[in-house]
């Protein structure tokens, strides 16, 4: 009769060596060392033995048990390290691959120009304000010395809105002046504000959009003169266009809300398109000394306080600075146009102090 211990030992070691993965190895452990395993069965036979035979058989089975447990542990460690090796190989990351490109958005040129206006005028002590697009007729016209049947109302192609329970119509603001009116009514001078924002006129062709942007500015204090207006606006134009010796001229004009009124032209060369010098002129700003009636309408005594005001088209100054040829492209949301003319969000607006004369 063969030795049962030697037989089990041989078969167990063969099974352990043949186990290809941790699950198979566990099945081998159960078959030999489990509750109804073959080694456990041998131990159960001890009860019916006695004396020396029991002692030596018991020692031999225990030695078998310890030997198999060690072999199982060793095999398990080997299988686990092989599995880990395979996983590391399969999940390897090539850190030398170039990163996938990320799509970065860009700042719309209108937004960027408004940021620039806010920074440039901010450095001159102006606060930027914004307010409602839908305005009371009086803030848009009446307060600005534009009476009910004044031709300027027809000129501005106003969008009128029906407002239930009101006797005055509401309008989509035709300029940003209403907010300056609100500022004068709510604040005592000195006042220095700019109001960039959306404005509306019922006018639509290649060079007019029913919604466009304006930036107006207002300064009110004691002793404000045309000299302040000229100095402030020439400084602004030179800083905005980054041309320290930009040539500008002041041309008499008319607005109902300023007296005197003047338009400001900058020099350019029609043939080369160069801005700042040349024998042609581009209209760029409307301006004037605030009309005494407008001050009085806002509760400011025109004998004590004077001021100047100005207004410009944001699209227009943006087109001139960046060479954008078509007004309509601003509102088309063409991603290629935005990628080309948009500004980097990572390059914030800076003041070009060095370009001041
Ligand atoms: C233009 C002309 C201008 C003003 C706007 C203004 C505002 C108040 C009082 C007086 Cl509250 N004036 N604004 C003055 C002169 C010209 O804009 O051509 N804009 C594009």
User: Where does ligand 1 bind, in terms of residues with CB under 6 Å?
Assistant: 177, 180-181, 214, 216, 218, 255, 257-258, 286-288, 290, 294, 309-313
Which of 143, 229, 309 to probe ligand 1 with, by most ligand atoms within 8 A of CB? 309
What distance in angstroms lies between residue 312's CA and the mean position of ligand 1's atoms?
8
What distance in angstroms lies between residue 164's CA and the mean position of ligand 1's atoms?
30
Secondary structure of residue 76 in the 3-state scheme: helix
The pLDDT assigned to 352 comes to 60
Q: Whose CA is nearest to atom 8 of ligand 1?
A: 177
DSSP character at residue 348: -
Convert the pLDDT of each residue in 88-111 to its tens digit: 999 998 889 898 888 888 999 999
Span 276-297, average pLDDT: 97
Secondary structure of residue 154 in the 3-state scheme: helix
Q: Is the separation of the CB atoms in 57 and 25 below 8 Å?
A: no
The pLDDT assigned to 285 comes to 97
Determine the Cα–Cα distance for residues 333 and 290; give it in Å rounded to an integer. Answer: 38
What distance in angstroms lies between residue 200's CA and the mean position of ligand 1's atoms?
15
Q: Which atom of ligand 1 approaches the CA of 288 most closely?
A: 15
What distance in angstroms lies between residue 175's CA and the mean position of ligand 1's atoms?
8
The pLDDT assigned to 356 comes to 46
Q: Whose CA is nearest to atom 7 of ligand 1?
A: 177
Asked if pLDDT for residue 355 goes beyond 70, the answer is no
Asked if pLDDT for residue 339 goes beyond 90, the answer is yes
Asked if pLDDT for residue 156 goes beyond 70, the answer is no
Which of 113, 288, 294, 311 to probe ligand 1 with, by most ligand atoms within 8 A of CB? 311
Asked if pLDDT for residue 14 goes beyond 70, the answer is yes
Q: Which atom of ligand 1 approaches the CA of 298 most closely?
A: 11
Q: Whose CA is nearest to atom 2 of ligand 1?
A: 286
Tell me the H-state helices in the chain: 4-18, 22-33, 38-45, 51-90, 109-123, 137-140, 151-155, 177-186, 226-241, 292-297, 314-322, 335-341
310-331 burial: b if 16+ Cβ within 10 Å, else e: bbbbbbbbbbbbeebeebebbe
């Amino acid at each position: 009769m063969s030795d049962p211990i030697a037989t089990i030992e041989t078969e167990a070691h063969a099974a352990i060596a043949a186990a290809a993965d941790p699950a198979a190895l566990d099945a081998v452990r159960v078959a030999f060392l489990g509750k109804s395993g073959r080694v456990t069965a041998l131990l159960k036979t001890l009860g019916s033995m006695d004396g020396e035979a029991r002692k030596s058989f018991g020692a031999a089975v225990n030695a078998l048990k310890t030997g198999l447990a060690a072999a199982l542990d060793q095999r398990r460690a080997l299988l686990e390290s092989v599995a880990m090796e395979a996983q590391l190989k399969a999940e390897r990351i090539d850190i030398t691959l170039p990163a996938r490109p990320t799509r970065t958005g860009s700042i719309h040129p209108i937004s960027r120009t408004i940021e620039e206006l806010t920074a440039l005028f901010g450095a001159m002590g102006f606060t930027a304000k914004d307010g409602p697009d839908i305005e009371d007729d009086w803030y848009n016209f009446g307060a600005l010395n534009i009476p009910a049947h004044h031709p300027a109302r027809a000129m501005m192609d106003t969008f009128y809105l029906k407002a239930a329970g009101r006797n005055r119509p509401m309008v989509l603001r035709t300029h940003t002046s209403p907010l300056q009116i609100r500022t004068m009514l709510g604040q005592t001078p000195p006042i220095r504000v700019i109001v960039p924002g959306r404005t509306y006129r019922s006018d639509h062709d290649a060079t007019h959009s029913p919604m466009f942007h304006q930036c107006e500015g207002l300064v009110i204090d004691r002793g404000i003169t045309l000299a302040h207006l000229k100095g402030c606006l020439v400084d602004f134009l030179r800083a905005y266009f980054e041309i320290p010796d930009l040539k500008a001229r002041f041309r008499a004009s008319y607005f109902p809300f300023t007296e005197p009124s003047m338009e400001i032209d900058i020099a350019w060369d029609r043939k080369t398109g160069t801005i700042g010098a040349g024998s042609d002129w581009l209209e760029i700003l409307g301006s004037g000394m605030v009309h005494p009636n407008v001050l009085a309408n806002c509760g400011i005594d025109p004998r004590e306080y004077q001021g100047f005001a100005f207004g410009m088209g944001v699209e227009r100054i943006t087109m001139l600075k960046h060479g954008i040829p078509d007004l309509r492209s601003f509102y088309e949301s063409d991603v290629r146009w935005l990628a080309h003319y948009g500004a980097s969000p990572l390059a914030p607006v800076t003041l070009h102090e060095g370009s001041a004369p």
